[in-house]
Structure 1
Amino acid sequence: MLKKVFVSPDPGRSRLRFAARAVLGIGLAVVVCGLAGTSLIGAIIGGLAALLALFTVTDATVRGQAVTTALLPVAGLPVLTAAAALHGHPVARDLTFLAVVGAGVYARRWGPRGHSLGVFAFMTFFIAQFLHATTGRLPEMFAAVLLSLAAAAAVRFGLWCYERRRTAPAAPAPAAGTGLARITTRQAVQATAGAGFALVAGQLVSGDRWYWAVGATWWVFVNTTSRGETLVRGFRRVLGTVVGIGLGLLIAVPVAGAPVPTAVLAAACVFGIFYTAAVSYTWMMLCVTLLAELLYGLLGVLSPGLLALRLAETGVGALGAALAVLLVLPVTTHAVTDAWIQRALRCVHACTAEAAARLAGTEGADPAPRVAELEQLLGRVRQSVAPLVHPLSPVYGRRRRARRVLALLDDCAREIRGLVAVAADPEASHDARLAAACWRVETAVEALTGGGASPAPGFARAGGTPVARGGGPRAAEPALAHLHGLEHALAELAAPLRPSSASRLAGA
């Protein structure tokens, strides 16, 4: 697990910058709240609002990110008002919380912006329970949220806007469909059912900290689609919480809310949350748990008994999520895995087409955004296949085939990156062999996906033979080598992705 976090590739040091900017933005938000005269409660809600703004807003463009950040108060402040107003009315509060859960998950159908606003709305209600917010505190809490979002935006879009120096890929869109055929709709129903179980069971465990169980259920559903993904994420959440509680007994309890060491440790936890989020959910949960313990230390309520209660509530929430995905409108691992693999393979062809067009001299051809999109899609493939390659998976044959598919897709990505690097060389060109290899890649992708790949721009068929448009007579040997490697990986994928193998792979 250590190796996964600290040895995982970090192209362009993007995770490092993501984490460092988060520490700066959240630190500035807390300082601004302090200078504005808010209480400890105001500083905490302000810091958490800034954390959510920097963590959940993932639009493909800087402009889109700015719009979503500006809309966060529109989604969050009414929910905060409702949570505070219903503080003394448990039944209405609980029903409203479940409605926020369902609406927040359903909003994912509108892509990254809907996801961000849904998460912010849910977490605003959650934070209100965490801080026991009442209507008397609303003016201070509103001010803290607005000031913190402004501080986070100043860092993200002014002081440290590294996204302007790169092309951001479009995030994979949610699966299409209507009614209950749409995965986001099914997940909204599942999450509401799971949260309902967690809410009732959590209150039986503790009348004061029941919201931890609902929060655990919610976050298990974030960025998951199939029942297998959700079950694995629930296991990892519990594991990260257990380890985080162990560290809390060694670190947070002795610190006991002392301001300076708590601030330093909280900054380290924030860095850890952002740095590990992309590679290890277990590590991220460890950091989240330790941060929560430090905040409870500041509030003067941290104790070993409270940590044991947090573990119990997390277990209840993970159980609620597991029951929901198994019993309520289940989405099979097979359907989700197949869909992401198909999209990744089509993106492989699109990358090849753009690179070939670039080599052919087609104006405006740029494979870089396609490569970034491929990396995102492969990340989704790995996530969807995670239940099959998990060490606790009982079916060895399925686990072996899933690992084979992942290895071959990684081979495809490596060859694509090499091809794109060659295409970026202004001295590179192509010959007819390059055109023929591109068509063979297209044919291989069509065979694996059942068609749907489009011809490579910059090339045309003539009498069934691929011929090139543009370019010079010089051979493009490095490009051909990468294309041949790509052909080989696609050919090897045919066996584990056969219909019979695919059904066994995913355990439909």
Structure 2
Amino acid sequence: MFVAPDPGRLRLRISARAVLGIGSAVAVSELATHSLTAAVAGGLAALLALFTVADTEVRGQAVTTALLPVVGFPVLALATVLHGHPLMRDAAFLAVVCAGVYARRWGPRGHALGTFGFMTFFMAQFLHAVPAQLPRLYAAVALSVAVAALVRFGLWCIERRTPPPAGPAPLTARGLARPTTRQALQNTFACALALGVGQLVSDERWYWAVGTAWWIFVNTASRGETLVRGFRRVVGTLAGISMGLLVAVPLGGAPAPTAVLVAVCVFGIFYTAPLSYSWMMFFVTVMASLLYGLLGVLHPGLLALRFEQTLVGAFGAAIAVVVILPITTHASTDAWIRRAVLAVRHCTAESARRLAGDASADPTPHVAELELLLAKVRASLAPLLHPLSPLRARKQRARQVMLSLDDCVHQARGLAAVAADPDASHDARLTAACQRVETALHALLPAPEAPATAVEFGAPAPQHHPGAERALAHLHDLEKALSELAAPVLSSPRSPLAGA
């Protein structure tokens, strides 16, 4: 985990920036409000501002960050006003859940604002906030978001030097099959179930179950992905509680060591989030234990209750994803595989045009898109590749799909690199090689998505050019990888291309 590749040390820098931004926000909030509760609220607001805002452009990130309080303040007021009215509070919380998930249809900004709205309501329950505390809470949240923005866009703007790649467009659908609509209904049902059962377990800490159900649905697209994410959350929480018993309980809320350990947890959350949901939840749970220690309410029984509420939330998510408009792992995976194969085709076509002398052709964007789509396929296949998956035949097919797609990406990347050499195209053998790749692609794509393309190269070179030889090798290996990919895809009885 901690030795995983980190190109450009991007995760390291983002994690270190998070510690600086959140630590500064907490300090400013404490100095301005002289309230530990407000400082905790400010720290959470800064964490969300740095963690959830993911627009592709720096300017868009700044706009989204500025809009966070616009969404958070009304929700915070609503949560505090309804503090003493359980039925109305619960109904409002579920409305915030539904709206927050549905907002994901507007992309990264909708996702960030929806998450901030949900977490603001959650924070009010965590802090048992009442209307009299609103002025200090507002001041802490506003100051913390401003400090986080100052660090992110002024003192340490990593994205300006290395802008994050734009993610692939989400899978499209209409009506109740639209991912955001389906997830809004699923997540609301899951949170309602978690809220009801959670209150039976504890009428004081029930919100942990709702928070678990909410976060399990983030960045999932199918029934299998959601179930695996729920399992990983339980594992990470259990490990975090064990560490909390060993570290947080003995500390008893001592300010200095607790602050240091919270900073370590913040770093761990940001550093592990892209790689492992279980590790991220481990650090989240340890940090929550330390914060409870600061607030003076931590004891072993509270951590045991935390685990019980996590089980309740995971159970609610599992029930919802199975009975409310379920999307099977196969349906999601098949769609992402087709998108990836289409990206391979675009990359190959642009490379071929570039090799044929078209200076305007550029396969680089398609290679970047292919890398992102490969990550989507890997996430979608994760339930089948999980060690506890009992579906051996499907697991074997999933492994073969990943190996073949990995090879496709490698060969497409190499072909795009060779295409930059203008002298490599003078070899007519490239025409035949491109046609063979087209044939392999046609087997994996419906006819409307794979129109034939014809690229003519120059006459055979008197001597084989090294660039042409490398291009031929990549095309040959790409053809082989596509043929190997066709075997597991077309052998699946559920594939729409089987028998096509």
TM-score normalised by L of structure 2 = 0.93
Q: Contact (CA 8 Å) 1:446, 1:452: kept in 2 or not?
A: no
> C-alpha separation between the residues in 2 aligned to 1:40 and 1:266?
15
Residue 457 (structure 2) pairs with residue 468 (structure 1):
yes
**1:422 CA drift (Å):** 3.4
2:190 is matched with which residue? 194
2:394 is matched with which residue? 398
The amino acid across from 1:408 in the alignment is S
Residue 155 (structure 2) pairs with residue 137 (structure 1):
no
Q: Contact (CA 8 Å) 1:353, 1:455: kept in 2 or not?
A: no
2:175 is matched with which residue? 179
Task: Please tell me the root mean square deviation across aligned C-alpha atoms, in Å.
Answer: 2.4
**1:364 CA drift (Å):** 5.0
> C-alpha separation between the residues in 2 aligned to 1:118 and 1:433?
54
2:8 is matched with which residue? 12
> C-alpha separation between the residues in 2 aligned to 1:442 and 1:66?
43
- Correspondence 1:188-337 to 2 at 5 A: 188-337=184-333
> C-alpha separation between the residues in 1 aligned to 2:361 and 2:147?
38
1:417 is matched with which residue? 413
> C-alpha separation between the residues in 2 aligned to 1:281 and 1:398?
24
> Judging changes above 3 Å, is the alpha-carbon distance between structure 1 residues 438 and 149 closer, same or farther for their aligned structure 2 residues?
farther
**1:353 CA drift (Å):** 3.2
1:340 is matched with which residue: 325, 336, 340? 336
> C-alpha separation between the residues in 2 aligned to 1:233 and 1:372?
26
Q: Contact (CA 8 Å) 1:445, 1:451: kept in 2 or not?
A: no
2:47 is matched with which residue? 51
> C-alpha separation between the residues in 1 aligned to 2:234 and 2:124?
23
> C-alpha separation between the residues in 1 aligned to 2:124 and 2:425?
61
**1:357 CA drift (Å):** 4.2
Where 1:420 maps in the other structure, the secondary structure is: helix
Q: Which moved more, 1:308-317 or 1:341-350?
A: 341-350
> C-alpha separation between the residues in 2 aligned to 1:177 and 1:246?
43
The amino acid across from 2:489 in the alignment is L
**1:50 CA drift (Å):** 1.2
**1:423 CA drift (Å):** 4.1
Where 2:456 maps in the other structure, the secondary structure is: strand
TM-score normalised by L of structure 1 = 0.91
> C-alpha separation between the residues in 2 aligned to 1:428 and 1:268?
52
1:489 is matched with which residue? 481
Q: Contact (CA 8 Å) 1:59, 1:171: kept in 2 or not?
A: no
1:147 is matched with which residue? 143
**1:95 CA drift (Å):** 0.2
> C-alpha separation between the residues in 2 aligned to 1:355 and 1:128?
54
Q: Which moved more, 1:23-32 or 1:282-291?
A: 23-32
* Alpha-carbon displacement from aligned partner over 1:146-184 (angstroms, at most 9, x marks no partner): 111111112222222222223532222332222212121
Where 1:497 maps in the other structure, the secondary structure is: helix
**1:225 CA drift (Å):** 1.5
| Unaligned runs of at least 5 residues, structure 2 | none
> C-alpha separation between the residues in 2 aligned to 1:362 and 1:156?
41
Where 1:171 maps in the other structure, the secondary structure is: coil
2:114 is matched with which residue? 118
> C-alpha separation between the residues in 2 aligned to 1:45 and 1:253?
22
- Correspondence 1:163-178 to 2 at 5 A: 163-178=159-174
Q: Which moved more, 1:162-171 or 1:288-297?
A: 162-171
> Judging changes above 3 Å, is the alpha-carbon distance between structure 1 residues 431 and 29 closer, same or farther for their aligned structure 2 residues?
farther
> Judging changes above 3 Å, is the alpha-carbon distance between structure 1 residues 154 and 442 closer, same or farther for their aligned structure 2 residues?
farther
Q: Contact (CA 8 Å) 1:496, 1:502: kept in 2 or not?
A: no
> Judging changes above 3 Å, is the alpha-carbon distance between structure 1 residues 351 and 306 closer, same or farther for their aligned structure 2 residues?
same
Equivalenced residue count is: 493
Residue 373 (structure 2) pairs with residue 384 (structure 1):
no
| Unaligned runs of at least 5 residues, structure 1 | none
Where 2:167 maps in the other structure, the secondary structure is: coil
> C-alpha separation between the residues in 1 aligned to 2:303 and 2:417?
51
* Alpha-carbon displacement from aligned partner over 1:424-445 (angstroms, at most 9, x marks no partner): 5688666433444344334322
**1:480 CA drift (Å):** 2.6
